[in-house]
Structure 1
Amino acid sequence: MQQTSYEGASPVHGPLRTYLCGSRTFGAAVLDVLSRRGNHVTGVSSPTADERGRADRLYTMAQEQGAPHTPTEEFRAAAIPEDTDLILAAHAHVFIGARARNRARLGCVGYHPSLLPLHRGRDAIRWTVHMRERITGGTVYWFTDEVDGGPIAVQDWCFVRPEWNASDLWSNELFPMGVRLFERVLDDVEAGRIVKQPQDETLASWEPSWERPPMERPAEEAASA
């Protein structure tokens, strides 16, 4: 068993300063959590609309709350204020590279709807259902240069009912689980606990995308790769 790493950090005495990259209803749910907790939102990056031209839910909520907003296609490291403590990625399909992560004091955490290191990749839920697995889960992990490969902050698990499709699994279990796990990480960070459990690479699996476009990668990151 790999050793969990606990990195010391000063407890947060004022509002935690967070930047949110995300989209859709899940991103909006995480923004709602940040607002309810009294965390200061230094900015939000999301699409302004979906592929049908409908306003993105996270974008709409950010506008309602007066949070500074950067469209996904315009996202760059400089969009993140230097006094940001933590970046959160909630259904974000933009590349959050080292330059962006380093703008935040603690880095970036994101939610992946699988028990990492299993089912890395953008379509983890579809593959879980396709493979007829009966147990799955969700992971909030620390972003690194390895996609879906960073150390784990927190995980939880759930059963997969045989009659469920991918949408059922997401809405009934993995969506609310992700919101809860983000809250647990925020609790840890505010208390000065930084949990980083290395992923076991001997168990890692990577699943291909089901006909989705690649995530956006800022030009500044691509040029330095």
Structure 2
Amino acid sequence: MSAQRTEETGAGARDGRVERGNRTRRLVLRHTVDIASVEGLEALSVGRIATELGLSKSGVFALFGSKEELQLSTIRAAARIFTDEVIVPVQDLPAGADKVWRLCASWLAYSQGRVFPGGCFFSGVFAEFDARVGAVHDALVRTQDAWLGQIEEYVQQAREAGELTPDTDAAQVAFELAALMEAANAHSVLHRDTRAYELARKGVVARLRAAAADPSFVRGLD
């Protein structure tokens, strides 16, 4: 076998191993986000994941290296799913009050539709790590800040577009809207009752209409 063919064969084998590793990583993370949404990030362990998925413990460990990295990778995977489900469907809409409403409606649909079996993935793990220190806590802080920042950005854009009053406090409105959504998720998960989502939708619409330059800018539930 020529040196060139040997090199190509070796490269092909490496590429095959990389792709298998990537597939296994995706399989593991789809499983860990579901577990963590119900039981928390501390419920994750290399041994448990290997057993439940029929993988070797050494193979799973090679992919992540530690429990903390498994937790951090799970957070990143959940954030990608969240972005695809909640933000991407509305990100190209024109700026305005209706875009803020649709972002909130997208979040409520994501929670109510149980994209993660435990409801919103982040609502549970925020409570789990809020009083701790370390890399996992810091990753969750960045995730929450990014979400609140996204709502605030859309509120600011709506104000600049003239659809919310000039004195609208974007940070305050974003905080209130997020609180309504999180309350709906917590109530629904605890009580196994979806009525809280309708209450939250009405609350979001009412808050945006109160800040709107013209209430007709917020079509909401009409």
**TM-score, normalised relative to structure 2:** 0.26
**TM-score, normalised relative to structure 1:** 0.26
Q: Which has the higher helix share?
A: 2
Question: Higher relative contact order at CA 8 Å, sep ≥6: structure 1 or structure 2?
Answer: 1
Structure with max Cα Rg:
2
